[in-house]
Amino acid sequence: MTTPPPAWRSRRRAVLLGLGAAALAACKRKSAPTLAEVWDEEPVVERAEAIGALAPPWPAPQRGQLDNGLILFGLHEPGGIGMRVRLLMPTSIGADSPPGEAVAVAAEHARFDWQRRLQRFGVTIAVEHGPHRVELVATGTDAHLPTTLAALRAALSASTPAGLDGARERLLDDPAARPTLEVAASAAVRSLFGIDEGVDPKRLAAMPRAELALHWQRLVDPRRCVLLVHTSVSAEALKTELRRLTEGWRGVDGAKPAPVLQQATARLRWAAPPTPGRTRLLAEPATPLVVAAGGNGPATLVLGRTIPLAGPEDRAMARLAQRVAQEEFDASLAICGDVATFLVATNIGRSDADRDVQQAVGELASFAVTRQPRQRLFGAVQLWLGARVVEASLAGEDWTRLFAQAIDLADTDAAIAGALAGDAKRQLAIAPDALEAWTRKWLQPRTGEPGWAWAIAGADPATAKRIERLTALA
């Protein structure tokens, strides 16, 4: 379904067109001769060398594994004044993977307790999410780095924190309902992986405290976590603070002690394999459409699949395909090691729900079989690289966020520092025919590789009945 632009966007577009016309009228030069558009010529890659290498000017990261098992990366920026401390906690840890409710409680308690201890120092704590992990991020100045690390140690040291109950209550007291997009995406991911990363209020309220405590211990176990520190202070100068951190924050050995993986890339990999699927959308064998309950907002449809990634070239191909697809519809991609999760979302109208669903599948199918001009691919990479740098700049040059993204693109810890630049160069080198062959195989929901899932949230009974004309509902 093509959603009309909001009124403010239409007005802004009209103003821009008006300004452009005025500028042309004021310029009395003769019109230049009309030239034919060329969209498939070889790009001059040299023009993008600077863009292709756009990644923070990291010196060699100072990597270490502390004696409590925590892997640390020190991103040393001499002359800087700000600091970021980012703790990465994987939520996919095999058979011990916690449900979404336990992850939400653990993240909320850690955020609240860490923030409480730093309130008077002007350090802010936020919760962010990566692919199959939760991230706690502290932002402040270098002067408060020792205090920040001490507060982190105190916040994570208790094996059964009393504050878990308070975290649960704060989550239950939050009146904001989950958007239908989030509900539909969670349902689609559940179909793909067989686990539920969403947060259901009823399940949250009913979860025993002992279970919350057990999942807390697994999530904050330093033998499973990775810590990123971006500061002007070298890791050598932080030895005392880091020693105190390891002394006060230790993993809890239960019936199943955590295996200590020696590589951060291995720790943050998706441990649960995708659920085998041999189905397609609106084609045999057909995938039933999951109708998910709850959600706030318009009816939202999410189409999704997992894609195996054999190596860096496959990761670059998947990322480029998503960049180009995003220019046409709402497409997202999450890469975690050798698995990518590709999702497409769209709103569904009540009166034409069956038509809108069919159109969403048709638009994706059309994109998958279209050969993209080389210039479009080149432009998509340039636009993405520029946006990445702007985002980092607006966020105060947050190297830790980019470094966390680089971990997902690397196979070993030694490859992390160069992963972003290498990925950009591989994307720039992809030929149109190669991308078309890839999208035909993985993004064609009717005739390509099977393994699709889809879900809709916010659909009333009448909407669901109209959709049932096209496909079975689950």
Three-state SS sequence of 185-225: HHHHHHHHHCCCCCCCHHHHHHCCHHHHHHHHHHHCCCCCC
Question: pLDDT, tens digit, for every residue of 436-449?
Answer: 999 999 999 999 99
- Collapsed DSSP state (helix, strand, coil) of residue 400: helix
- pLDDT of 351: 85
How much is the pTM?
Answer: 0.82
Q: How many whole angstroms from its chain centre is CA 33?
A: 46
Contact in structure between 121 and 144 (CB atoms under 8 Å): yes
Tokens at 40, concatenated: 């498939």
The Cα–Cα gap between 396 and 390 comes to 10
Question: pLDDT, tens digit, for every residue of 53-74?
Answer: 556 667 778 888 998 999 999 9
Question: pLDDT, tens digit, for every residue of 69-112?
Answer: 999 999 888 887 889 999 999 988 766 788 889 999 999 999 99
Contact in structure between 342 and 327 (CB atoms under 8 Å): no
Q: How many CA atoms lie within 13 A of 71 on its CB side?
A: 21
Short-list 98, 41, 62, 372, CA closest to 212? 98
The Cα–Cα gap between 126 and 230 comes to 16
- Collapsed DSSP state (helix, strand, coil) of residue 229: strand
Give the count of beta carbons closer than 10 Å to the beta carbon of residue 78.
Answer: 8
Cβ neighbours for 94, distance < 8 A, ≥ 6 positions apart: 271, 272
Instruction: Find where tokens 């999450």 sit.
Output: 334
Question: pLDDT, tens digit, for every residue of 219-260?
Answer: 999 999 999 999 988 878 888 999 999 988 988 765 455 678
**Residue 261 above 60 pLDDT?**
yes
The Cα–Cα gap between 113 and 427 comes to 42
**Residue 150 above 70 pLDDT?**
yes
The Cα–Cα gap between 355 and 395 comes to 41
Question: pLDDT, tens digit, for every residue of 364-407?
Answer: 999 999 999 999 999 888 887 777 666 666 556 688 988 998 89
- β-strand pairing of 71-76 with 226-231: parallel
The Cα–Cα gap between 85 and 81 comes to 14
What percent of the chain is helix, strand and coil (3-state, nearest 5)?
A: 45, 15, 35
The Cα–Cα gap between 294 and 180 comes to 7
Contact in structure between 294 and 300 (CB atoms under 8 Å): no
What is the H or E stretch that residue 374 is in?
helix 374-394
- β-strand pairing of 71-76 with 452-457: unpaired
Q: In the sheet that 124-130 helps form, which strands lie side by side, from edge to edge?
A: 62-65, 71-76, 226-231, 82-90, 133-141, 124-130
Outline where DSSP puts E strands in 48-156: 62-65, 71-76, 82-90, 124-130, 133-141
Cβ neighbours for 221, distance < 8 A, ≥ 6 positions apart: 69, 251, 252, 258
Region for 295 from its dihedrals, namely left if φ exceeds 0, alpha if ψ lies in -120 to 50, beta otherwise? left
Question: pLDDT, tens digit, for every residue of 309-338?
Answer: 988 999 999 999 999 999 999 999 998 878
- The predicted model gives 119-144 an average pLDDT of 92
Contact in structure between 165 and 209 (CB atoms under 8 Å): yes
